[in-house]
């Protein structure tokens, strides 16, 4: 007996059908690498104007110099202490920048120099010694407030590290009050009496004899040259007018200077932590 077998009809053809082919591993790797680059390119093109503003304000330069300083200080004291110290340096320099811009004097962002601190560029000078003293004292005042905030945080958290950072910040601001140009104390002393420059130079010389530090020698050389230049120009009509300010302004600068120095000495005494070897 024969039996007829009926074959099933062929499946309908799908339009644009292509069989699935396994993707090569190399193409997959390229796609994964290209996706983040494409996203970054789109982000930069979208926020290009903002990036231009950042470059114009030299934020990247300041950030890069801060990172270099942190790396340099971390090599000696560890990265946590280095970060705190550089941030206190930034707060100190920010005081100068804010006062300069408040007076209408164009000022650059702080530039950090490892083991020498930081500098702020001025495109001009304040109008007189009174305004120069205010710019000079603004740095130690804001820097001392920043160190005090770290001290309070260290006391609240019972952190020896934060107290050590605060002590270093107080010392940094007190050292800057030595009445020798280019330190802040030398610029503030110009509003009180030029004789203080001689006192500060003699004190710095004694410090260099008992504490062999190359940074002190550099400040001593720069301060001596600047003192000689200013001392010779003190009788010039323009320079004489620059230092001619009312007596009450001299008293204010002297009171703030002495009071800030005394406060920093007490703060250093309160945050001093003996080292145990």
Mean pLDDT of 74-100: 89
Residue with more model confidence, 14 or 245: 245
pLDDT digit string, tens, across residues 1-51: 333 333 444 555 545 544 444 445 545 544 554 444 444 444 444 444 443
pTM over 0.75: no
pLDDT digit string, tens, across residues 139-195: 999 999 999 999 999 999 999 999 999 999 999 999 999 988 888 998 898 888 877
Buried b / exposed e over 214-247, threshold 16 CB at 10 Å, is eebeebbeebbebbeebeeeeeeeeeeebbebee
Is a pLDDT exceeding 70 seen at residue 56?
no
What local confidence, expressed as pLDDT, does residue 139 receive?
94
pLDDT digit string, tens, across residues 206-226: 887 887 777 788 888 888 888
Two structure tokens written together for 152: 């309070």
What local confidence, expressed as pLDDT, does residue 123 receive?
72
* Selection from 133, 143, 80, 79 nearest residue 110 by Cα: 143
What local confidence, expressed as pLDDT, does residue 27 receive?
52
């Amino acid at each position: 007996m024969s039996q007829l077998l009926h074959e099933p009809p062929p499946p309908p053809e799908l339009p644009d059908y292509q069989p699935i082919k396994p993707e090569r591993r190399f193409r997959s790797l390229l796609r994964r690498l290209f996706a983040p680059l494409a996203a970054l390119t789109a982000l930069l093109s979208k926020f290009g104007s903002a990036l231009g503003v950042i470059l114009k304000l030299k934020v990247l330069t300041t950030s890069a110099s801060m990172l270099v300083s942190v790396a340099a200080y971390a090599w000696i004291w560890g990265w946590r202490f280095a970060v705190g110290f550089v941030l206190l340096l930034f707060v100190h320099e920010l005081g100068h920048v804010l006062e300069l811009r408040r007076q209408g004097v164009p000022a650059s962002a702080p530039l950090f120099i490892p083991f020498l601190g930081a500098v702020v560029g001025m495109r001009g000078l304040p109008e007189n010694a009174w305004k120069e003293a205010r710019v000079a004292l603004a740095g130690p005042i804001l820097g001392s407030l920043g160190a005090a905030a770290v001290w309070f945080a260290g006391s609240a958290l019972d952190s020896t590290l934060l107290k050590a950072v605060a002590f270093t910040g107080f010392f940094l601001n007190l050292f800057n009050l030595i009445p020798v140009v280019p330190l802040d104390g030398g610029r503030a002393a110009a509003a009180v009496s030029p004789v203080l420059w001689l006192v500060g130079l003699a004190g710095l010389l004694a410090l260099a004899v008992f504490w062999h530090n190359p940074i002190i020698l550099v400040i001593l050389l720069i301060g001596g040259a600047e003192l000689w230049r200013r001392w010779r120009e003190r009788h010039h009509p323009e320079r004489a007018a620059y230092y001619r300010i009312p007596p009450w302004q001299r008293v204010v600068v002297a009171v703030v200077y002495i009071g800030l120095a005394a406060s920093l000495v007490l703060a250093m005494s309160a945050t001093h932590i003996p080292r145990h070897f």
